[in-house]
């Protein structure tokens, strides 16, 4: 297929683009580079520096078969402080994209949704029928797009799949030696921050809460390797059904505590992660774990790479100078 990847200069978008190319697809990447990196675009991809709201005049010339939509603002704290940016960029921009797809007859879309749509659920593991109660504008913006996709599928025959990720980690280093990994200007994720702390390239890690009702007192989260995540996107492209909208959770189906992550970072790097213990953050639930049974039944997908592989690949990416 000829696939349009929005946000393809970002972390997950670049990995998925590289995997698409490796599988023989043609890839057209659109990214405004507000948070992405031009040098993260795979060499074999066609690249356009554009906003997703500005595609209508050019989309008809590209003969696109499907879209994988990553382009979005994605910082929870920023969304609380500046919600207008999230409604404008994530929701209004995506509706403009959907109208462009409809105008030019693009039949299918895979959307990068989020576990943030569920909010702080007491149901564990979290299934697709768990009530969606987002606790911040970022999660609300993702849920709004999921709802829009359901309406566009029903009314206009779009084949739409929303993939709700849990905690993504790791990196891709392909057969040519090109590497794709996390390098956010504002890094909020545990694993890259722990690796930088272990390497002495960042501050000591703040460990928020050691008295949770979990085996070691720290929060438990569900981590998935970005390569497994990318494979799910390729499967979702083929699984879309015209007129239907599917929501699919992507996670390991198991959890790792913060202390387990830090211990694994120590094992992989041979360096202890410096830690400052701190009080719990308001609103952090003790456990968030996905059910991935629907992904297995609908897509034939199961994760294959464990926490050690995620951290090993992320460390290799860090060692290459990001």
C-alpha to C-alpha distance for 53 and 30, rounded to whole angstroms: 11
Is the omega angle on the peptide bond into residue 125 within 30 degrees of 0, that is, cis? yes
| Tokens encoding 49 | 């520096």
31: left (phi over 0), alpha (psi -120 to 50) or beta: beta
CATH 3.40.50.1000 fits 2-169+224-250, yes or no: no
C-alpha angle 132-102-150 in degrees, rounded to nearest 5: 20
Domain ranges of the chain: 2-169+224-250, 172-221+254-319
Q: Which residues are catalytic?
A: 138
Q: Give whole-number Cα distances, 121 to 213, 275, 288, 290, 319, in Å.
A: 15, 28, 8, 11, 37
pLDDT at 311: 98
Query: Domain 172-221+254-319 maps to which CATH number in 3.30.1520.10, 3.20.20.140, 3.90.25.10, 3.40.50.800?
Result: 3.90.25.10
Q: What is the pLDDT of residues 210-238, one digit of tens each?
A: 999 999 999 999 999 999 999 999 999 99
At 321 the pLDDT is 63
The token duo for 67 is 């879209």
Tens digit of pLDDT for each residue in 115-148? 999 998 889 999 999 999 999 999 999 999 999 9
pTM score, two decimals? 0.95
**Residue stretches of the chain with pLDDT short of 70:** 321-322
Alpha-carbon 136 to chain mean position:
17
Coil, strand or helix at 89 = helix
Q: What is the reported pLDDT for 175?
A: 80
pLDDT at 282: 79
Please state, in angstroms and rounded to a whole number, the distance separating the CA atoms of residues 283 and 280: 9
Please report how the helices 190-198 and 307-319 are oriented relative to each other, as an axis angle in degrees rounded to 10: 60
């Amino acid at each position: 297929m000829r696939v349009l990847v929005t946000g393809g200069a970002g972390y997950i978008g670049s990995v998925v683009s590289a995997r698409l190319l490796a599988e023989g697809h043609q890839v057209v990447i659109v990214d405004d580079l507000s948070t992405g990196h031009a040098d993260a675009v795979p060499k074999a991809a066609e690249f356009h520096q554009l906003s997703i709201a500005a595609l209508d005049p050019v989309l008809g010339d590209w003969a696109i078969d499907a879209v994988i939509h990553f382009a979005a603002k994605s910082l929870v704290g920023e969304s609380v402080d500046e919600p207008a940016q999230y409604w404008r960029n994530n929701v209004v921009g995506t509706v403009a994209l959907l109208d462009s797809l409809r105008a030019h007859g693009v039949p299918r879309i895979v959307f990068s949704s989020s576990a943030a749509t569920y909010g702080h659920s007491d149901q564990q593991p979290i299934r697709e029928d768990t009530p969606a109660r987002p606790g911040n504008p970022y999660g609300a913006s993702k849920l709004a797009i999921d709802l829009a996709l359901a309406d566009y599928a029903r009314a206009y025959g779009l084949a739409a799949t929303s993939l709700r990720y849990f905690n993504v980690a790791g990196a891709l280093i392909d057969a040519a030696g090109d590497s794709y990994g996390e390098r956010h200007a504002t890094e909020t994720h545990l694993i890259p921050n722990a690796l930088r702390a272990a390497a002495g390239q960042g501050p000591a890690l703040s460990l928020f809460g050691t008295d949770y009702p979990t085996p070691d007192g720290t929060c438990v989260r569900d981590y998935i390797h970005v390569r497994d995540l990318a494979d799910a996107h390729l499967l979702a492209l083929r699984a879309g059904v015209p007129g239907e909208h599917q929501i699919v959770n992507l996670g390991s189906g198991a959890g790792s505590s913060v202390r387990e992550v830090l211990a694994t970072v120590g094992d992989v790097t041979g360096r202890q992660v410096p830690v400052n213990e701190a009080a719990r953050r308001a609103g952090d639930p003790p456990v968030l774990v996905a059910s991935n049974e629907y992904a297995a039944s609908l897509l034939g997908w199961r994760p294959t790479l464990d926490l050690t592989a995620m951290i090993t690949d992320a460390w290799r990416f860090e060692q290459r100078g990001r």
